[in-house]
Structures are given as structure tokens and as C-alpha cells.
Amino acid sequence: MTITVYHYPKCTTCKKAIAWLKAEGVAFDTKDLVTETPTAEEVKEMQEKSGLPLKKFFNTSGMKYRELGLKDRLAEMSESEQLELLASDGMLIKRPITYDGERVTVGFNENKFIENWKK
């Protein structure tokens, strides 16, 4: 299955992740989180495959997250409301998300990349 990297082109963490994949000779496609934001269903699928809590998919250090006051509001929201919110604005999603249909990494952690994506 093809590896897809959901990224934001100006994000330095995304650039590091993409550079790592290229250096390791890993083939992948990219999707811009802003122009090709995953649907609520796609985010749910990735979240379920990752085994991570949905909160880990939020870009908690982003301006949009702070503007919307999500630190205080997230706990009160249902899962479907959180998924719809993530699908409504790619800037709310922690990046990069690397996904091959089975494995998912959120953010860039070299050890996790070695574990999941090294050939």
C-alpha cells in the first residue's frame, strides 16, 4: 500500500519527516493538509488504526487551536464533533500524519519512523 504523508508545506517538522523518508528511499505521496484536508471518516480510520486518543490528532500548539479555545472545550465535545472539527480545517491537525492504510504515525519522531517506515 502507498504511504501518504499529510503535511503542511511550510511546516519544518513536515519537511524533516519528508527528508527522512527520501533519505531512506521510502516511496510516498503527499497531501497538503490545508487543500486536501482528510474527511472526518478518514481521520477516524487513521485514529483507530493508530491506537492513539483522538486528542493526539489535534495541533495543540497551533494558532487556530488557541483561537478556538479548544484546550478548554475539547473535553466537552463528542467524538463526532471533534472529528468534524478536524475535518473542517487542516490547520487543526497535528502534522505530519504518515499513513499506509495500516500503520500511522502522527508528528515526526525518528524512532517511530524507523520502527514503522524503514525498509
pLDDT 10s digits, 39-86: 999 999 999 999 999 999 999 999 999 999 999 999 999 999 999 999
This prediction has a pTM of 0.94
Cα 22 to Cα 113: distance, rounded to the nearest angstrom: 12
Q: Indicate if the pLDDT at residue 8 is higher than 80.
A: yes
Cα 2 to Cα 103: distance, rounded to the nearest angstrom: 11
Listed residue (79, 85, 47) closest to 65, CA to CA: 85
pLDDT in tens, 10-46: 999 999 999 999 999 999 999 999 999 999 999 999 9
* Amino acid 1: pLDDT: 74
